[in-house]
Structure 1
């Protein structure tokens, strides 16, 4: 691809080979654009014609450059995270890059959480986890990008804290940031005025600026790929299976010691030691769970992964990482969290182990529900 071609919307170099990367445009659209003199990347084209923002991902270096630039601005930072995958959707070291700018922490996908989880408890929990990461948000807000009333409430909160400044929306990929921004565009006056721009010198960062009524902007930034996200290892169809679309319906199992639960072929939970007890699984409703004996679990996995145990499916993933084991001694009611997949609540004392693809975290936390 000739590097001299640039998108007239955002300035990014046009390429026709990698749909998930910056500057992509289909070959036919590229040829039409060159002919007409109106050459847009697909992201800008969809924004102009459909008011639709597509998420794109940046390299870590590009993203660090973007964060450093934001730190020199006087702005409100809106950090969108996925409530369902809080740890997997935090931006490492964000507090070091934002300077003195206030951060509003927004937990998206509220609609998929079980009704039994009180929002006030979730907000308090998010605040505590943010503090552990060195982030001191000015406020914590829960929202669902699918609900117009939630977006209105979020916009009011942003208005309260921005105090006449620009607003930068940041987040890792797969947190639903694009859906959120698209809803904001639909609800914000002057939809036709939406422009695409790249104001960062020496780089082709694909930013979207949404005009606010006072001449300032709400600025959407591309998502950074988080290496520890389960989504990083899956194809699009498998992603739909593990990403909850509706309220999660918890599934409870009575397990004896030395029994194993498989979460599709993506993760594994071993009950190693303890009295017969109940374990509640919080994952997407479409994800199949399988119970087997601990002593046979490894052989069972090797035989059935990609078949009975799926996702991952062979036609979606060329090579799925091996599962790595994390062991935990449980003293109180505890969640074992599989980053990006969900969690299992352990009610009684005992010893358990969680397995996840190499690079994906399994952690324990005090039970949320």
Structure 2
């Protein structure tokens, strides 16, 4: 502060010729977070040789390995706070860590990674292996617990934890939650029942079907299905033990954790003492965040049922002021859960059972942080249907290329792309496909990845794989080509043989899904755009 004041005095005295010091670049809203001097130099010469690749972010402040790790957890990801090493979970700059520790305010702090994720949508890369994530989840094996498996419906079966029995044990009951149902279009009547059957079939195919005690379709973001889930958990599991949220990275566990924190499932006395989990498209929960579960006594269940009935009948004008403010706050975050009004008792947390949010199981990912934000859908998907003939190629960004090689029968098929609206789709001739990819990958035409030829040099080469499909008629898709958080439904006349060659990154795990998730999606198409596919 003194150096900053001295600099201002020099300006007033006409001494503005001297260069600005590091403190002049400090963000006043977070004055204990000084910028790294290397970052300041990079601002003066943004494109100097050897600059960091686009999409990676420098760490602010400095580390001090001589300071012991605290016993306080980050309220965003659960990792123990420290200032020892910037690339380990729970890191805070030593300048801020020491100030908070001396003031006794470390308990309310979040680590630098959670801060950047929440406020700047930037992801720091951590030294944390896939096995380290799994070791945290394996703690469930020794506990009497119920497992809530959160599955991303946009990435089936890729978002299933295939070795779930090995992680949590074969003696655990599993409640499967198909999340993000709000992002899927309704392709036909009763499509939700069909989605549940498809999800149950995927669990059977993965080998843990006998452990599945219940299955729900939910939207952790909008609150769809959450009240039915809470009621089902209170009836079936009651108060027998702890509950663990398990699932892949970006399946929506942290969003669900935050929504349940505001619902009747959490003891009301704990809401004020707990902070919400960090939500982002990247893996966030690094330890075990938790909240105490409400004991569903008959009186509480009776109060809850009456409250749910009243919520359906009351208008906003009739709601109490505190309840209206709470619902408005939840509405800004996209939650629609009915919270508990029970008065907390002095022994509210004594002998409590807990709901834990475990780390997301990591998957191989070739995209950088900003690219992930483009690819992962956050709004309802609008299908884009294209009419392709043999000898044509469909690009889903620069992430996947689908070559329509041959069709035995009619002249064309329908290809329905279900992906984020920020991912461009481009159709061209098969003979031009290679040159189009070479010229436009990394640029605006194909969109993702972004960063030009320099970015594409680091992006893995596309690997081809051939598929043969048999059409089921123009009312039902033959199969889905899955591309991780996106897919392409192929619809052809009954009995026709379709030959495709799909190119994509090997680590992305693209493949064929039969039966298709939304078989009637081609019926949602609009009028044909003249002189186009």
Q: Does 1:123 align with 2:196?
A: yes
Q: Which position in structure 1 is the counterpart of 2:325?
A: none
Could you say which residue in structure 2 is the equivalent of 1:334?
A: 479
Q: Secondary structure at the match of 2:423?
A: coil
Residue pairs, 1:214-363, within 5 angstroms = 214=295, 215-227=352-364, 232-274=365-407, 275-307=411-443, 308-314=445-451, 319-332=458-471, 333-348=478-493, 349-363=497-511
Match of 2:256 in 1: 180
Change over 3 Å in CA distance of 1:32–1:120 after alignment to 2: same
Shift of 1:111: 0.7
The alpha-carbon deviation at position 28 of structure 1 amounts to 4.7
Query: Contact conserved, 2:82 with 2:91, CA < 8 A, in 1?
Result: yes
Q: 2 CA distance for matches of 1:313 and 1:222?
A: 29
Counterparts of 2:429 and 2:79, CA distance in 1: 57
- The structure having more radius of gyration, on CA atoms, is 2
Give, in whole Å, the separation in 2 of the partners of 1:266 and 1:92.
24
Please say if 1:194 is aligned against 2:274.
Answer: yes
- Of residues 285, 288, 293, the one that matches 1:212 is 293
Cα shift at 1:303? 1.2
Corresponding residue number in structure 2 for 1:102: 173
SS at match of 2:417: strand
Cα distance change on mapping 1:326 and 1:18 into 2, 3 Å? farther
Q: CA deviation at 1:207?
A: 0.9
Change (3 A) 1:222 1:43: farther
Distance 1:70 1:27, change over 3 A: same
Secondary structure at the aligned position of 1:35 is classed as helix
Structure 1: segments with no counterpart, 5+ residues: 197-203
**Structure 1 partner of 2:208:** 135
Q: Is the alpha carbon distance of 1:11 and 1:17 closer, same or farther for their aligned partners in structure 2, counting shifts above 3 Å?
A: closer
Q: What is the aligned partner in structure 1 of residue 100 from structure 2? A: 33
Structure with more strand by fraction: 1
CA distance in 2 between counterparts of 1:126 and 1:132 reads 10
Separation in structure 1 between the aligned mates of residue 160 and residue 215 of structure 2, nearest angstrom: 14
Asked if the contact 1:260–1:294 (Cα under 8 Å) also holds between the matched residues in 2, the reply is: yes
**Deviation per CA, 1:194-214, whole angstroms, max 9, x where unpaired?**
389xxxxxxx96211111123
CA distance in 2, matches of 1:7, 1:180: 26
- 1:78-93 matches, within 5 Å, as 78-93=148-163
SS in 1 for 2:428: strand
Q: Does 1:4 align with 2:74?
A: no
Shift of 1:216: 0.7
Q: What is the aligned-residue RMSD (CA, Å)? A: 3.0
Where does residue 155 of structure 1 map in the other structure?
230
Cα distance per residue 1:119-174 (max 9 Å; x no partner):
11111111111111111221221111122353222222332332321100011211
SS state at 1:126 partner: helix
**SS of equivalent to 1:128:** helix
Q: 1:27 to 1:351 in 2, by over 3 A?
A: farther
Give the superposition deviation at 1:63.
2.9
> Relative to 1, partners in 2 of residues 1:29 and 1:342: Cα closer, same or farther, differing over 3 Å?
farther
Task: Quickly say closer, same or farther: Cα 1:79–1:31, change in 2 above 3 A.
Answer: same
In structure 2, relative to structure 1, the CA distance for the partners of 1:321 and 1:46 (3 Å cut) is closer
Displacement of 1:45: 11
Matched residues, number = 352
Q: Which has the higher contact order (CA 8 A, sep 6+)?
A: 1
